[in-house]
Amino acid sequence: MCGLCGAFGAPDHWSDGVRSGTPQAERRARADAANRVLGLYGLRLAAWADRYTLSGRTGRTAMVDHLGTLWPAAERLAGRACDPLDPAVIAALEARG
Amino acid sequence: MSGPTPVTLLTGFLGAGKTTLLARLLRWPALRDTAVLINEFGEVGLDHLLVEPLQGEVALLRGGCVCCSIRGDLKAALIDLHDRRRRGLVPPFRRVVIETTGLADPGPAVATLVADPVLRHAFTTAAIVTVVDAVNGDRTLDAHEEAVRQVACADRLILSKTDLATPDAAASLRARLAALNPVAPVTDLTLADMPEAALLTDDPSGERAGRWLCAAVPEAPHGPVGAVLIESGPVDWTRFGLWLGMLLNRHGARILRLKGLVAVEGAATPVVIQGVQHLVHPPRHLPAWPDGLARTRLVLIGHDLDGDLLRRSYRAFTGAQVSTGSGLVPRHVPEAHAPARPAAADR
């Protein structure tokens, strides 16, 4: 448990199973990668302690334990489906390169 | 014993021959240390193998195997079995076979094993074995969605009653099974030399899955359930995880099965990834590439999957170069839609 916030340690997600750096560096890298997509929905992910915070443009914020809980939280905050097969989303990512 | 106990899910539609297979397997000396979970005593034809009842829902089978009834609560039955073994109340079994009901979708049972915080430390999913009746299999697959799901989710398919089916009918069914689930080997139950032990052997390293992923994948059928292959060069693991997590969050209900051999950027050896519906098992590292070729191969089996759209999405999200490989999947991703490889700063 975190002594400051009282939160229990976040459980692992399957995507945590292939490690390439320190846990903190990996969380930052995951947040950076996620923000490339989350920006399309007006959301931003930031590494925080052993988990993440997900924020919308209006200031609404949600705690995210790991990437397994990211997309349900993102859909709640964005108020719409986050669909990787949405042609508009794909086209936006393709345009960014 | 050390490490989690491998669990095999034995599925198959009503009358497919699950119990025939199970009864045969339990006579095999190599499988003597097996615990079998069934729904109810008396419902299946294992009663003739019962030697003596132990306590409650647990009985001893001829040959030394343990048999336990589930009574609707798989988690409670597994924890009870685990506890009895720990206290020495049952023989020290080394694997568990769960015989599901004929109408069961294997997904929820896998979900129980993978997601439950208690069970996932004590048990691990070894394989989903699905029995298909060669005489009635075609009609069953036409009429029952559950049967299609059982085939699509399988790690191994057992074809029963081939001695009663015409050669043409058996060949036609084999082709249909291969199209529904190109990564599951098909074994004939009537073969005298059927490798019984291999049916229930765990695949802890994922090597078997890796070998099958290297095999040719036939074109997806024109029916609602089919397979899509995504093949690419090395991929950024973080981006891959984001894409797959997002895909399963939105489309997990129609992606019945996924198996992949992933070439991770910066890693010399492959990672095997497997999932059933919304769930993904912990990825496993293989010591080497099964066919020597370092390339990502991801097979998705599900309802109404648009291969071109999936490959385009995969490429846009991961930045990996998608290829159609050596004719494994004939669909072509138009180069006009190919995104530029993302800048390093974006990863």
Residue for token digits 């057992």?
B158
Q: Residues B139-157: what's their mean pLDDT?
A: 89
- What pLDDT score was predicted for residue B58? 66
| Domain-located, residue A79 | yes
CATH label of the domain that carries residue B298: 3.30.1220.10
- What pLDDT score was predicted for residue B192? 63
| Domain-located, residue A4 | no
Average pLDDT, chain B: 78
B124-134, pLDDT tens digit by residue? 888 889 999 99
Looking at the complex, report in whole angstroms how far the Cα of residue A51 sits from the nearest Cα belonging to chain B: 15
Specify the 3-state DSSP secondary structure of A8. coil
Query: Which residues in chain A have their CB less than 8 angstroms from residue B339's CB?
Result: 93-95, 97
Residue that is last in its domain, among B169, B185, B202: B202
Tell me, yes or no, whether B42 and B145 share the same domain: yes
| Residue B334 near chain A (CB below 8 Å) | no
- What pLDDT score was predicted for residue B55? 54
Tell me, yes or no, whether B223 and B81 share the same domain: no
User: CB distance B280–A14 less than 8 Å?
Assistant: yes
- Is pLDDT above 70 for B302? yes
Tell me, yes or no, whether B38 and B177 share the same domain: yes
Task: Yes or no: say if B36 and B99 are a contact pair by the CB < 8 Å rule.
Answer: yes
- What pLDDT score was predicted for residue B339? 33
Q: How far apart are CA B80 and CA B68, in angstroms?
A: 9
A43-73, pLDDT tens digit by residue? 999 998 888 999 999 889 999 988 888 999 9
Q: Produce one character per residue of B261-297: b if its CB has 16 or more CB atoms within 10 Å, e if not.
A: bbbbbeeeebbbbbbbbbbbbbbbebeebbeeebbbb
Residue that is last in its domain, among B174, B202, B230: B202
CATH label of the domain that carries residue B117: 3.40.50.300
Residue for token digits 């930045």?
B319
Could you tell me the two tokens for B335?
């180069």
Quickly state the pLDDT bin for B317 (edges 50, 70, 90): very high
Q: Residues B148-159: what's their mean pLDDT?
A: 90
Tell me, yes or no, whether B43 and B154 share the same domain: yes
| Domain-located, residue A27 | yes
- What pLDDT score was predicted for residue B223? 64
Taking CA atoms, what residue in B is nearest to A95?
A: B339
- Is pLDDT above 60 for B150? yes
- What pLDDT score was predicted for residue A68? 84
| Domain-located, residue A6 | no
User: CB distance A97–B340 less than 8 Å?
Assistant: yes
| Residue B245 near chain A (CB below 8 Å) | yes
This model of the complex carries an ipTM of 0.87
Contact residues, B window 79-138, toward A, CB-based 8 Å cutoff:
117
Query: Which residues in chain A have their CB less than 8 angstroms from residue B347's CB?
Result: 29, 32-33
| Domain-located, residue A2 | no
| Residue A81 near chain B (CB below 8 Å) | yes
- Is pLDDT above 90 for A42? yes
Quickly state the pLDDT bin for B215 (edges 50, 70, 90): low
| Structural domains counted in chain B | 2
- Is pLDDT above 90 for B205? no
Task: Yes or no: say if B212 and B185 are a contact pair by the CB < 8 Å rule.
Answer: yes
Tell me, yes or no, whether B215 and B284 share the same domain: yes
Q: How far apart are CA B113 and CA B5, in angstroms?
A: 11
Instruction: Burial-class residue B34 by CB neighbours within 10 Å (0-12, 13-18, 19+).
Output: buried
| Domain-located, residue A45 | yes
User: CB distance B246–A37 less than 8 Å?
Assistant: yes
Quickly state the pLDDT bin for A20 (edges 50, 70, 90): low
Could you tell me the two tokens for B196?
């019984």
| Domain-located, residue A78 | yes
Could you tell me the two tokens for A9?
């340690």
- Is pLDDT above 50 for B337? no
Q: How far apart are CA A84 and CA B242, in angstroms?
A: 10
State the SS3 of B274-323: EEECCEECCCEECCCCCCCCCCEEEEEEEECCCHHHHHHHHHHHHCCCEE
Residue that is last in its domain, among B155, B176, B202: B202
- What pLDDT score was predicted for residue B336? 32
Query: Which residues in chain A have their CB less than 8 angstroms from residue B313's CB?
Result: 84-85, 90
Q: How far apart are CA B118 and CA B116, in angstroms?
A: 6
Tell me, yes or no, whether B91 and B231 share the same domain: no
Tell me, yes or no, whether B272 and B303 share the same domain: yes
- What pLDDT score was predicted for residue A52? 93
Q: Residues A80-84: what's their mean pLDDT?
A: 96
Domain of residue A34 covers 21-96
Quickly state the pLDDT bin for A18 (edges 50, 70, 90): low
| Domain-located, residue A11 | no
- Cα→Cα distances A9→B84, B114, B343, Å: 31, 19, 34
- Residue B235 CB contacts under 8 Å (≥ 6 apart), including other chains: B262, B263, B264, B265, B296, B318, B319, B320
Q: How far apart are CA B332 and CA B68, in angstroms?
A: 50
- What pLDDT score was predicted for residue A1? 39
Q: How much of chain B, in percent, has pLDDT values that exceed 90? A: 20
- What pLDDT score was predicted for residue B186? 87
Q: CB count, 10 Å around CB of B118?
A: 11
- What pLDDT score was predicted for residue B126? 85
Edge to edge, the sheet with strand B156-160 lists B50-53, B58-61, B66-69, B34-38, B95-99, B5-12, B123-133, B156-160, B186-188
Which of A12, A13, A15 to mutate against chain B (most B CBs within 10 Å)? A15
Tell me, yes or no, whether B217 and B106 share the same domain: no
- What pLDDT score was predicted for residue A92? 96
Tell me, yes or no, whether B183 and B320 share the same domain: no
Q: Residues B163-167: what's their mean pLDDT?
A: 90
Domain of residue B80 covers 5-202
- Is pLDDT above 50 for B346? no
Tell me, yes or no, whether B230 and B214 share the same domain: yes
Query: Which residues in chain B have their CB less than 8 angstroms from residue A15's CB?
Result: 237-238, 241-242, 244-245
Q: Residues B186-200: what's their mean pLDDT?
A: 71
- What pLDDT score was predicted for residue B343? 33
User: CB distance B347–A32 less than 8 Å?
Assistant: yes
Tell me, yes or no, whether B174 and B305 share the same domain: no
User: CB distance A85–B313 less than 8 Å?
Assistant: yes
- Is pLDDT above 60 for B271? yes
Q: How far apart are CA B158 and CA B189, in angstroms?
A: 6
